[in-house]
Structure 1
């Protein structure tokens, strides 16, 4: 507790006694202020996504603080210094230019009888009945006014202000100063007295705040940090934690924490609750992150274990297949800046010329065998795709047979419409097809699976070499974050024929990823890796059969 009050001295410079001097009154009884009390939000995710940064800062205060006898108000240009003070004291930071009625209501709710003003103050109605301390944002002035010693840290002009605020440590108060310098405080600031001693803040534990790298939201970010939140900053143009290796590591380390998402960019991020849950698993693809494209390019060998006639994957045992897939992928490493991901495409259900006991003209291979190969792929740092040739049954029914494999985070699904028969049709006589409604039904199933098990997005490959193999392509949903749709061009033959098929399939196509297949025996000639990379656009998935 301070033993004397300043008399007749503004705090605009450093809160020192004037040269003329004045008699200090006798020390009075202690007037400590009660501790600010953080209010942990509900379990799970709390969205604070107001498009107006000032309103968003008020929302953050309302969500994260039960009470605070002091609030820091930041005038324009003083956001960094206000954030520094708020985190050091453990109190909310609010923009001084917020709506006066909203600001007054929040100050009343908090019980904030004292406000620390940095820069231009709010409307006079906000300050009525409160003690206002106008403070110059310098270390000596802040120490004199608040009893807190700050060390100064310059934030470079090209540095992230949000990152700087997120790194503030209440145990080691820092005063953030912009490289260009802070503007001067108003010269007509009224006389202020030092802040009565503030009891140590009761900060929250087990709290995480997600924010984007945007200086407009600094006040809300500072409030979250003052409340005790550990902060993760995401890129404003891609605020998906699944895309960031650092974000996945951070969220995995705080797997049980409550989460607050700050700012309109996160508020608009689809399915953010699932994306956070998925990131908390800690699983990452080779090269980092949980999203396949555009960071990765996949190179796969295709076929059925033990069946050489169906593709190169069946020409060797499991360990040798892993090595073969790796060799194919390694041939592309020097040809792209992307992480090249080796993969299996496993034919799980094989089209049959006979109806079989179930009358569906499709042989469903043992799910346990598929699981063995899928698990081995994951252990080897590879991806696995299960390919379905359903005959007279439907894709969803067959996919469910292999759900144990599809629950693995590194396993996707491929639909082969060539082998999806209509009534009365037979393989090798008719070329099958699938409609967009059935493709979307598969997406429904994968979406439910992904959400139920907090999995990363599933790859859904649609094989096609004729336009009529996928009916109503425009009706295929491509905006689900849980499913990454890829159209795979399966044309074979001469390279002019393959390029013509590629261009035809891409005409009026939905917004999807793209795959290309190299056939060892049927292409004339088969492209080598350098030539394959000259396909325009460069495929996201390259398969060898």
Structure 2
């Protein structure tokens, strides 16, 4: 892999990646990510526990998944909500909050020191996706930092985030792909992974117009919560039936246990086990825990 230290504006000497980073992540590997924000215990597992405890849990989860499917080496990841949708407008009226450089660098350093790649997730609110991509570009120049975009909080109608489910069109996703492709080419780094969250039909429109690029691996991630049968139905209806490139599956440590699944053999609410997720076709290559 090419050394990009001299080109990196982030003092890369303090962010050296522990271990060996493969040149291509997908489809040869399976990514296992912990999602959230260190400023919020409620947003996800990444911020729920102190760093050391959270990373230990990630390690144990990775071991479970590796045992469930030894054929796909596990790549651990931290998935940071770097730009968070807000219920109230910011000074610019865009209903989104950009995390500070200190916070973003902190999570990137957690990943680098632990041998975990990092995803920076964008919830645009009423902002423009291209502008938020530009804000994150200096971080995405690092070879182990990747991107997530969340249609749920892309409020094209001008509605306040959280009042309605938002949407991205293929044109928006293509903008993100083209942006990442340029970053890869200009910095001579390995291909990027783009995760697009989805759990309804309208969250992604005109999927057939999404253009693939060899410098970017696109994952459409089934992001809905609930009992296993509902999650499986969502995966089939919104991910499998409208294929793009690779698939992902999200698991919620708490929300997935709110109801008993009467269509399964489990008598109590439970988070799907690796074997249950791996029974899906196609087998998801990106697994996220919130």
- What residue number does 1:346 align with? 80
Match of 2:209 among 455, 459, 475: 475
Match of 1:374 among 102, 105, 108: 108
Match of 2:172 among 438, 445, 468: 438
- What residue number does 2:228 align with? 495
* Alpha-carbon distance between aligned partners in 2 of 1:306 and 1:288, rounded to the nearest angstrom: 28
Match of 2:94 among 355, 360, 366: 360
RMSD: 2.1
**Does the Cα contact within 8 Å between 1:306 and 1:317 map onto a contact in 2?**
no
- What residue number does 2:9 align with? none
1:400 counterpart = 2:134: yes
Determine which structure has more spread, i.e. the larger CA radius of gyration.
1
1:540 counterpart = 2:285: yes
Residues 367, 540 of structure 1: alpha-carbon distance in 2 compared, 3 angstrom cutoff = same
**Does the Cα contact within 8 Å between 2:17 and 2:115 map onto a contact in 1?**
no
* Alpha-carbon distance between aligned partners in 2 of 1:411 and 1:424, rounded to the nearest angstrom: 30
Report how far residue 492 of structure 1 moved: 1.1
Report how far residue 399 of structure 1 moved: 2.1
1:316 counterpart = 2:61: no
* Alpha-carbon distance between aligned partners in 2 of 1:307 and 1:429, rounded to the nearest angstrom: 21
Runs of 4+ that moved beyond 4 A:
283-288
> Deviations for 1:319-375, whole angstroms, at most 9, x for unmatched residues?
333222222111112121111111111001111110111101111111331122113
Q: TM-score, normalised by structure 1?
A: 0.46
* Alpha-carbon distance between aligned partners in 2 of 1:323 and 1:395, rounded to the nearest angstrom: 34
1:413 counterpart = 2:158: no
Q: TM-score, normalised by structure 2?
A: 0.85
* Alpha-carbon distance between aligned partners in 1 of 2:49 and 2:289, rounded to the nearest angstrom: 14
**Does the Cα contact within 8 Å between 1:439 and 1:476 map onto a contact in 2?**
yes
* Alpha-carbon distance between aligned partners in 1 of 2:18 and 2:189, rounded to the nearest angstrom: 12
> Deviations for 1:242-269, whole angstroms, at most 9, x for unmatched residues?
xxxxxx6xx99xxxxxxxxxxxxxxxxx
Report how far residue 288 of structure 1 moved: 6.4
**Does the Cα contact within 8 Å between 2:222 and 2:239 map onto a contact in 1?**
no
- What residue number does 1:519 align with? 252
Residues 461, 515 of structure 1: alpha-carbon distance in 2 compared, 3 angstrom cutoff = same
**Does the Cα contact within 8 Å between 2:220 and 2:244 map onto a contact in 1?**
no
Report how far residue 488 of structure 1 moved: 0.2
**Does the Cα contact within 8 Å between 1:516 and 1:543 map onto a contact in 2?**
yes
2:157 aligns to what SS in structure 1?
coil
Residues 521, 376 of structure 1: alpha-carbon distance in 2 compared, 3 angstrom cutoff = closer
* Alpha-carbon distance between aligned partners in 1 of 2:17 and 2:99, rounded to the nearest angstrom: 29
Residues 331, 540 of structure 1: alpha-carbon distance in 2 compared, 3 angstrom cutoff = same
- What residue number does 1:191 align with? none
2:121 aligns to what SS in structure 1?
strand
* Alpha-carbon distance between aligned partners in 1 of 2:217 and 2:17, rounded to the nearest angstrom: 16
The aligned runs of 1:60-459 (5 Å cut-off) are: 289-336=22-69, 337-459=71-193
Report how far residue 538 of structure 1 moved: 1.7
**Does the Cα contact within 8 Å between 2:17 and 2:112 map onto a contact in 1?**
no
Residues 533, 286 of structure 1: alpha-carbon distance in 2 compared, 3 angstrom cutoff = farther
* Alpha-carbon distance between aligned partners in 2 of 1:423 and 1:489, rounded to the nearest angstrom: 23
Residues 413, 290 of structure 1: alpha-carbon distance in 2 compared, 3 angstrom cutoff = same
Q: Which consecutive unaligned segments of at least 5 residues does structure 2 have? A: 4-15, 258-269
Residues 285, 440 of structure 1: alpha-carbon distance in 2 compared, 3 angstrom cutoff = farther
Residues 404, 424 of structure 1: alpha-carbon distance in 2 compared, 3 angstrom cutoff = closer
2:152 aligns to what SS in structure 1?
helix
Count of residues paired in the alignment: 265
Q: Which consecutive unaligned segments of at least 5 residues does structure 1 have? A: 1-247, 253-282
1:331 aligns to what SS in structure 2?
helix
> Deviations for 1:493-515, whole angstroms, at most 9, x for unmatched residues?
12111111010013442331111
* Alpha-carbon distance between aligned partners in 2 of 1:484 and 1:333, rounded to the nearest angstrom: 21
**Does the Cα contact within 8 Å between 1:386 and 1:413 map onto a contact in 2?**
yes
